Amino acid sequence: SYSNMGIVFWTFSLLALPLTHSAKILTVCLIGEWGLLKTIPLMTKIFTVIVRVSNNFNDFLNFMEHLSFQCDKLLGDKEMITFLQRENYNIIILDAFNPCSFILAHKLGVSYIAFYPGTLNGPLSIALPSPVSYIPVFGSQLSHHMDLWGRAKNLFFSLLEIVWLKFKEVAERHLESGPPPGGLNELHQGAELWAFNTDFSLEFPQPLMPYTVLVGGLLNKPAKPLEQDMELWISSFGEAGFIIVTLGSMISSVSVAPLLVELVAGFSMIPQGVLWRYDSHRWPSHVDRPINVRLVDWLPINDLLGHKKARVFITHGGQNSLLQAVYHAVPVLGIPLFGDQFDNVVRAETKGLGLSINPTHITRELLNTTIQTLIQDTGYADGK
Ligand SMILES: *[C@@H]1O[C@H](CO)[C@@H](O)[C@H](O)[C@H]1NC(C)=O
């Protein structure tokens, strides 16, 4: 562990066809510790003054700052780097979210395949042509239909690609050849292949390149029957059916305490059963739980979304959740809390998959009426 950086390396040999030789592959996934988000003294504070666009964008910059700090520690570990160099990998598969993965691959001098966990308009340039005239920039919360104001906003957001500034210093310190002159762009373009965890059911029009593949929906599969206990609980709500709620770990740019109160009050107004993934030990003691709400530590999301009584899926808008909702044609109510989720729910809404509520605007009445709209208007399940 490098100051709380989760580091995951896997090495495996893959038999390449024809079976003349095997390849030694290193997969790199560098995971940041979100808990440190607010505690680092930041150069990005300077930008905050200039930018002041949104809390959310600022949090993202803070997080990147933190990743660059961890990157410095990782690349400075001579023992680890020497070990990786001696292994003589044939290829690296890396998680493209963290710029550090690219610097590491560059340092090891091994060819790499980039896997990007989110949508095509990632927070960093992602080796795709992205004209600002019609492709919304990360964090802009715009759709592809932009009016003059929208385009001005998009142009402004496109100027905020300042993330590399921080990683540049790290690259300077740890790459013998110095940082690549083309910055992160050059590192991105050096990938042999780009795989994106997305699908055009969730994307706006966007040019792709011959080295791009879209692999979104890998987790989707037909639903299996539920456990009997769960099935009984669902049938107790009759034709009203049930809704599924997962809001991740509720890492948020907004304060979640009032949000929780409104959610609970809103759920008590609806006839549907509410299946909520929430650690019941962490449930605030001052909040009463309505009888139609059931808290569970873990949910078989795929099987639940595929259930014929599933009416609405309330999600923070993680990419995998949205892909699952698309697959099972369950209307989405997006309540974005952090990072790319804000842009993701704009997409889901524009694509007719559902509606969204800004967590700071949520009220019990709005929650009730939005859920009822999603259930009654069959267009949402058809993706309009
Ligand atoms: C919830 O919303 C529905 C549809 O808008 C409305 O008919 C119903 O009265 C609301 N329920 C409550 C308890 O306000």
242 and 153, same structural domain? no
- Domain for residue 23, yes or no? no
DSSP code per residue over 165-208: HHHHHHHHHH-TT-S-TTHHHHHHHT-SEEEES--TTS------
Confidence (pLDDT) at 284: 82
Instruction: Give the three-state DSSP class for 352.
Output: coil
Percentages (nearest 5) of helix, strand, coil residues in the chain: 40, 15, 45
Give dist(CA 31, CA 63) in Å, integer.
Answer: 11
Residue 308: the pLDDT is 95
Residue 269 CB–ligand 1 contact under 6 Å: yes
Highest mean pLDDT among 7-11, 41-45, 282-286: 282-286
Containing 374, the helix (H) or strand (E) segment is helix 364-376
From residue 177, how far is each of 99, 141, 168, 173, 302 by CA, in Å? 17, 38, 13, 10, 47
Question: Which is more confidently placed, 280 or 89?
Answer: 89
* 222 inside domain: no
Q: Is 8 helix (H, G, I), strand (E, B) or coil?
A: strand
Cα(369) to centroid of ligand 1, in Å?
6
- Residue 8 inside a domain? The answer is no
Report the domain count for the chain. 2
Which residue's CA is the closest to the ligand 1 atom numbered 5? 369
Nearest-CA residue for atom 7 of ligand 1:
369
Distance CA 125, CA 114 (A): 13
Contacts 24+ apart (CB under 8 A), 73-80: 73/2, 73/3, 73/5, 74/2, 74/5, 74/7, 74/30, 74/100, 74/104, 75/100, 75/103, 75/104, 75/107, 75/170, 75/173, 75/174, 76/173, 76/174, 77/2
Residue 372 in contact with ligand 1 by CB distance below 6 A: yes
Looking at the structure, do residues 234 and 155 belong to the same domain, yes or no?
Answer: no
Ligand 1 centroid – CA 270 distance (Å): 8
Strands 273-277 and 242-246: parallel
- 139 and 46 in one domain? yes
> Is residue 48 in some structural domain?
yes
| Residue numbers of the domain that contains 317 | 228-376
Percent of the chain residues topping a pLDDT of 90? 46
Q: Which residues of 200-218 are buried (b: 16+ CB within 10 A; e: fewer)?
A: ebbbbebeeeeebebebbe
User: Is the predicted pLDDT of residue 339 greater than 50, yes or no?
Assistant: yes
Residue 159 token pair:
């100027």
Judge if 210 and 232 occupy the same domain: no
Residue 8: its pLDDT value, please?
A: 59
Q: How far is the CA of 371 from the centre of ligand 1 (A)?
A: 10
Q: State which amino acid sits at residue 376.
A: Q
Amino acid in position 107 = K
The reply to whether 257 and 302 lie within a common domain is yes
**pLDDT at 44 (0 to 100):** 38
Indicate the residue among 184, 214, 244 that finishes a domain: 214
298/368 same-domain check: yes
Task: Kindly give the number of the ligand 1 atom that is closest to the alpha carbon of 372.
Answer: 4
What integer best gives the mean pLDDT of the chain?
Answer: 83
| Cα separation values, 134 from 130, 193, 203, 356, Å | 8, 25, 12, 22
Asked whether the predicted pLDDT for residue 38 surpasses 70, the reply is no
DSSP assignment string, 108-164: HT--EEEEESS-SS-SS--SS---TTTSPPTTS---S---HHHHHHHHHHHTT--HH
In terms of domains, do 304 and 353 share one?
yes
User: Is residue 336 assigned to a domain?
Assistant: yes
Phi, psi (rounded to 5 degrees) for 55:
-55, -40
In terms of domains, do 323 and 201 share one? no
Is the distance from the beta carbon of residue 13 to the nearest atom of ligand 1 less than 6 Å?
A: no
Of ligand 1's listed atoms, the one at least distance from the Cα of 365 is: 14
What is the best residue among 269, 363, 365 to mutate for testing ligand 1's pocket, by most ligand atoms within 8 Å of CB?
A: 269
Tell whether 155 and 287 lie within a shared domain. Answer: no
Q: Any idea which of 3-17, 74-88, 264-278, 316-330 has the lowest mean pLDDT? A: 3-17
> 214, 246, 264 — which closes off a domain?
214
Q: Output the pLDDT for position 25.
A: 84
pLDDT of residue 100: 92
Ligand 1 touching residue 265 (CB < 6 A): no
Does 280 fall in a domain? yes
Same domain, 206 and 237: no
Residues 184 and 238 placed together within one structural domain of the fold: no
In a domain, residue 258? The reply is: yes
Q: For 266, list phi and psi in degrees, rounded to 5.
A: -65, -40
Integer Cα distance of 40 and 236 in angstroms: 50
DSSP, residue by residue, 204-261:
------TTEEE-TTTT--PPPPPPHHHHHHHHTTGGG-EEEEE-TT---SS-HHHHHH
Atom of ligand 1 nearest to the CA of 371: 2
The DSSP symbol for 281 reads G
Residues 6+ apart with CB under 8 A from 79: none
Given a contact cutoff of 8 angstroms between Cβ atoms, the answer to whether 116 and 195 are in contact is yes
Using the 3D structure, point to which of 188, 214, 240 is the last residue of a domain: 214
Cβ–ligand 1 distance for 363 under 6 Å, the answer: no
Distance 368 CA to ligand 1 centre (A): 6
Q: For ligand 1, atom 13, which residue shows the shortest CA distance?
A: 269
Domain annotation covers residue 7: no
For residue 248, the domain's CATH number is 3.40.50.2000
175: amino acid identity, one letter:
L
**Does position 328 have pLDDT exceeding 70, yes or no?**
yes
Do 234 and 210 share a structural domain?
A: no
- To test the pocket of ligand 1, the residue of 264, 311, 372, 377 to mutate (highest count of ligand atoms within 8 Å of its CB) is 372
Is residue 40 predicted with pLDDT exceeding 70? no
